[in-house]
Structure 1
Amino acid sequence: MSKTGNRGASRRSLLTTMGAAAIGLTFTSACSQAAKPAGGAEEAKLNFYNWDTYIGETTLADFKKASGVDVNMSLFATNDELFAKLKAGNPGYDVVVPSNEFVTRMGQAGLLMPLDHAKIPNMKNIDPAFLDPDYDKGRKFSMPYTWLVLGLGYRKSKMQGVPDSWKWVFDSPQYKGRIALLSESADLMRLSAKYLGHSVNDIPPEMVKQIEAMLIRQKPYVKAFHEDDGQTLLQNKDVDIVIEYNGDIAQVMKEDDDIGFIVPKEGSLLNSDTLCIPTGAPRPDNAHKFINYLLDAQAGAEISKTILYPTPNAAAKALMPDDYRNNPVIFPPADQMAKCEYGAFEGAERAQLYEEVITRVRAA
């Protein structure tokens, strides 16, 4: 990610290093802005709730030039945080960026507005493989923004060989005190199940107990549970091995050739981050315009050049250089991808169970 100063502060701190004012952003409360002027037309504003380091350097300013709409971007760190915020009542967000299973969960909970595809003509740029996913059939509520895979980022000089298994973070003292795990509960449970030879979905009760015991046993060797800033911990040499997304590690690998990334041999968890309009969005027309703009080929390419995540936008990918399209960290080899799965939303009760397990692990 081409930015100045301290880099890669999280998944997805562009804002802290460029300065909010430099790209037309403010951090006022989303609900402090009135939705409509007296005439009834939407005001030229939009509240965007996004992950950190997850937008092009000039995307928001470019959208304002093209549309006249000023984007106010604020940040969340986990899907759990996003869900809780909207569950309590939309405070004024127009576009949000949930991951795949949370699209299902939020749609079922009535937290998302159906999209008007007629207002998103750039949908034509999406790779057909992403048009009808199980988590949102027919793209009723979401448009794909990125896809991503979790793996192990590591400092090559500190490893004893290539860390090609989840064992080294879940079930071994070998790198004690130098390990960082992802904090998101469902992801941690699913990756543990993958290590134990199971699918990331439909984890049986006895395996849930086995995972909890394993992670509690591993806890003394874990330095941090990070909220998606694992690449920063790795880059700053706070840890030597970390569970992180491929795009985040690709960002720091550009600056530090001692950093590597691998999808472990057991397989991994795929995610897709999406663009959605939450129920109660005060400016749904501007929201559709913004989503359509982000799916433009050139705008999509500019985003990909900055965030280095794999894009589902075929037209944008075609504009990208070879060192992006052929990068095995951004687009892992087919044999690795064949062992990876999307996590399905399996109900609020299961989600709550996973949160309770990881809460106990972290308290152990």
Structure 2
Amino acid sequence: MDLNELLAQGRNRRSLLQAMGVAAIGISFGGLAACSKGEGKKLANGEEAKLNFYNWDTYIGETTLDDFKGATGVEVKMDLFDSNDVLFAKFKAGNPGYDVIVPSNDFVERMALADMLQTLDHAQIPNLKNIDPTFIDVDYDKGRKFSMPYTWLSLGIGYRKSKVKTKPDSWKVLFDSPEYAGRISWLSEAGDMFRLYGKYLGKSVNALTPADIATIEAMMIKQKPNVKNFHVDDGQDLLLKGDVDLVLEYNGDIAQAMTEDDDIDFIVPKEGSQLNSDNLCIPKGAPHPKNAHAFINYMLDAEVDKKITETILFPTPNAAAKALMPDSYKNNPVIFPPADVLAKCEYAKFNPELQRLFEEAFTRVRAA
């Protein structure tokens, strides 16, 4: 079975969520095999049968939450965010009531340093055994003290083949050229934008200086008139609708769009790019920490993650789930870029001082 057949089995991930609403989705389930259904009922672990989940848009399987309800009876409410900056800002004044969140690698580090994350009890997450060992002892969270890996991903250019003169194999087309004026879309996340501009200038994403940031800010302001918008985690939708012809976006998002429109393609520019890894974490003050551990363990189950991966089409760090996927997924160069491409890509590290400069400069760019 190939990717198109997988998606043809039901509504694709976007239509599923769009049918429910795009701003904030609340999905509620009740019941427990071992106890009565209903609001406020207690589980055997002493907690209410509830879980509050804060996730990215289009980043869950079509039946995952329903299936979790069937397995545990826990009622899940899922709200959506569209950038790590929004996620971090939400928790600045304390946990507003969430049990599980999905920050990217550098924000796991940032939130841990800010004492926003609860230490995980690995004894309650036995499905950790399913994770590829290379994703366990990571620089941003040694030994997985605060996070469990959900996906990994690469940033690149999604584009409409019929609208470009040549394959857009350089960041130049998005960052430093009027060639596609009014037909390009940028990310709305400060750190990612500055680090990728750094790649275009031949620098490591982790080696930018305040002088580099000033240079990039000026370049962004110069290029901004050619940019249609700063998208909010929906660049692939802009591409599908024909609102733009080129978009800075994640590989999994474009891989899914490619199954809906064969005029769409994706490329990691020749200068290299940034890799991200999104993670499942329990924020400090989570009202249902035992349910949160159970939910994370459930998400790491091989069959569960296989169903999620079939829907979202991002690279999974779950080796047991990946083994269950078809070759059309495992051998897809958009989802899993070749080794020579990955060799020019890097994970971003959190730098408090640079992050402040990124955000201040990006605010000025957006206001310019």
Which category of TM-score, normalised to the shorter sequence, fits these structures? Answer: over 0.9
Aligned residue runs from structure 1 range 1-364, under 5 A: 2=7, 14-17=16-19, 25-26=27-28, 41-347=46-352, 349-364=353-368
**Alpha carbon RMSD of aligned pairs, Å?**
2.3
What do residues 77-123 of structure 1 show as CA deviations (whole Å, max 9, x unaligned)? 11111111111111110000000000000001010000000100000
- How far residue 338 of structure 1 moved from its aligned partner, in angstroms, is 0.5
Aligned residues: 353
Q: Is the 8 A contact 2:273 2:345 kept in 1?
A: yes
Q: Is the 8 A contact 1:36 1:43 kept in 2?
A: yes
Partner amino acid, structure 1, of 2:281: C
The separation in 2 between residues aligned to 1:5 and 1:180, in whole angstroms, is 29
The separation in 2 between residues aligned to 1:4 and 1:131, in whole angstroms, is 33
SS at structure 2 position matched to 1:320:
coil
Percent of counterpart pairs with the same letter?
67
- How far residue 288 of structure 1 moved from its aligned partner, in angstroms, is 0.4
Question: After TM superposition, which residue ranges in structure 1, 4 or more long, deviate above 4 angstroms?
Answer: 3-9, 33-40
Q: For residues 59 and 344 of structure 1, do their structure 2 counterparts lie closer, same or farther at Cα, with a shift above 3 Å needed?
A: same
- How far residue 2 of structure 1 moved from its aligned partner, in angstroms, is 3.5
Q: Is the 8 A contact 2:112 2:146 kept in 1?
A: yes
Query: Which TM-score applies when normalising by structure 2?
Result: 0.91
- How far residue 363 of structure 1 moved from its aligned partner, in angstroms, is 1.4
Q: Is the 8 A contact 2:54 2:98 kept in 1?
A: yes
Q: Is the 8 A contact 1:146 1:272 kept in 2?
A: yes
- How far residue 127 of structure 1 moved from its aligned partner, in angstroms, is 0.2
Q: For residues 221 and 5 of structure 1, do their structure 2 counterparts lie closer, same or farther at Cα, with a shift above 3 Å needed?
A: farther
The separation in 2 between residues aligned to 1:110 and 1:128, in whole angstroms, is 26
- How far residue 15 of structure 1 moved from its aligned partner, in angstroms, is 2.5
The separation in 2 between residues aligned to 1:4 and 1:224, in whole angstroms, is 34
Query: Which TM-score applies when normalising by structure 1?
Result: 0.92
Q: For residues 14 and 3 of structure 1, do their structure 2 counterparts lie closer, same or farther at Cα, with a shift above 3 Å needed?
A: farther
Q: Is the 8 A contact 1:5 1:17 kept in 2?
A: no
Q: For residues 305 and 37 of structure 1, do their structure 2 counterparts lie closer, same or farther at Cα, with a shift above 3 Å needed?
A: closer
- How far residue 19 of structure 1 moved from its aligned partner, in angstroms, is 7.0
2:35 paired residue number? none
1:30 paired residue number? none
Gaps of 5+ in 2: 1-5, 30-37
The separation in 1 between residues aligned to 2:44 and 2:316, in whole angstroms, is 39
The separation in 1 between residues aligned to 2:346 and 2:302, in whole angstroms, is 27
